[in-house]
Amino acid sequence: MDARPIGVFDSGVGGLTVFRSLEAALPGESFVYLGDTARVPYGTKSPETVGRYGVEAARFLRKQDVKMVIVACNTVSSVALDAVAAEAGVPVAGVIQPGARRAVALTRRGRIGVIGTRATIASEAYPRAILALREDVEVFSSPCPLFVPLAEEGWTDNEVARRTAETYLATLEAAGVDTLVLGCTHYPLLAGVIGEVMGGDVALVDSADAVASEVRERLSGDPRLAAPAAGAPAPSRFYVTDSPAPFAAVAERFLGRPVGLIGRAGIAGE
Ligand code: DGL
């Protein structure tokens, strides 16, 4: 049994979609969430920069004495998972492998679409992971950078969101994908509009849900790592690298409830 919290980190507020899924899947666990709000977005930055940020976040979480680190950010998971794992000193899980596994399990015609930030799509991490699991599929990718500010603004179900989705997703629709990986923390919030545009027969893969189920399986298979069954878990803690107030406002929208006290973390150069 291990009562220590699970560390979750993201470039900002978007990783709360992963936190939300983890909390639902693992009600006995407590979490430490770190959002690097001073340096978001990561999705427009080089792999070297994203790697450095990821290592600094891992060092911060290590100091919080977490028992495991979940890399909620698809961009970090795509370009720097090994560097984060080397720094964390505890088991680390990213979102790419769970998302890829779920996509391969769901595809009917072997035509899989992937959407994400520019950095995630340029890294080709999802196609690599998918093709390593199953060679006879085709993967079609498209970056959708404007989905991130739309989700943060709460514009997830209006005409702007719909037009943006139609424009970004046209090539994937034309390619006839039957499964679409939402390869960015923010995209599950736009799942309604994305589903409408792609049509009901396209399966959407929420990598937040996929990683949460895999972490649950891992903890149930390893009793030394899971929290003690008795007693309520300690309340989760939240840290950001910029002012907490804007994070609190968007977090409330992402989670549908206030997150409580938010600490300020200085992680740059750690
Ligand atoms: N968290 C990022 C991701 O999942 C999206 C926001 C950003 O660009 O930092 O890729």
Q: What is the number of alpha carbons within 13 Å of residue 118 lying toward its C-beta?
A: 8
Query: Is residue 269 included in any domain, yes or no?
Result: no
Residue finishing a domain among 185, 207, 229: 207
Q: Whose CA is nearest to atom 1 of ligand 1?
A: 73
Nearest to 94 by CA among 114, 113, 68, 116: 68
Q: Whose CA is nearest to atom 6 of ligand 1?
A: 41
Question: How far is residue 267's CA from residue 270's CA, in Å, rounded to a whole number?
Answer: 5
Catalytic residues: 73, 184
Q: Are 208 and 3 in contact (CB under 8 A)?
A: no
Task: Give this prediction's pTM.
Answer: 0.96
Domain ranges, residue 122: 96-207
Query: Is residue 270 included in any domain, yes or no?
Result: no
Distance 187 CA to ligand 1 centre (A): 10
Per mean pLDDT, which range of 11-15, 21-25, 143-147, 249-253 is the poorest?
249-253
Q: How confident is the model at residue 25 (pLDDT cuts 50, 70, 90)?
A: very high
Please name the residue that has the structure tokens 């992971």: 129
Nearest to 162 by CA among 142, 129, 130, 192: 192
Counted domains in the chain: 2
Closest ligand 1 atom to 10 CA: 1
For residue 262, pLDDT over 90 is answered with: yes
Distance 108 CA to ligand 1 centre (A): 29
Residue finishing a domain among 183, 207, 231: 207
Q: What is the pLDDT of residue 121?
A: 98
Distance 42 CA to ligand 1 centre (A): 6
Mutate which of 34, 74, 126 for ligand 1? The one with the most ligand atoms within 8 Å of its CB, which is 74
221 in the same domain as 183: no
Query: Is residue 136 included in any domain, yes or no?
Result: yes
Distance 229 CA to ligand 1 centre (A): 34
- CATH number, domain of 109, equals 3.40.50.1860
Q: Whose CA is nearest to atom 7 of ligand 1?
A: 41
- Kindly state the average pLDDT of the residues 22-39: 95
- Kindly state the average pLDDT of the residues 153-165: 96
Closest ligand 1 atom to 44 CA: 8
Rounded to the nearest integer, the mean pLDDT of the chain is 95
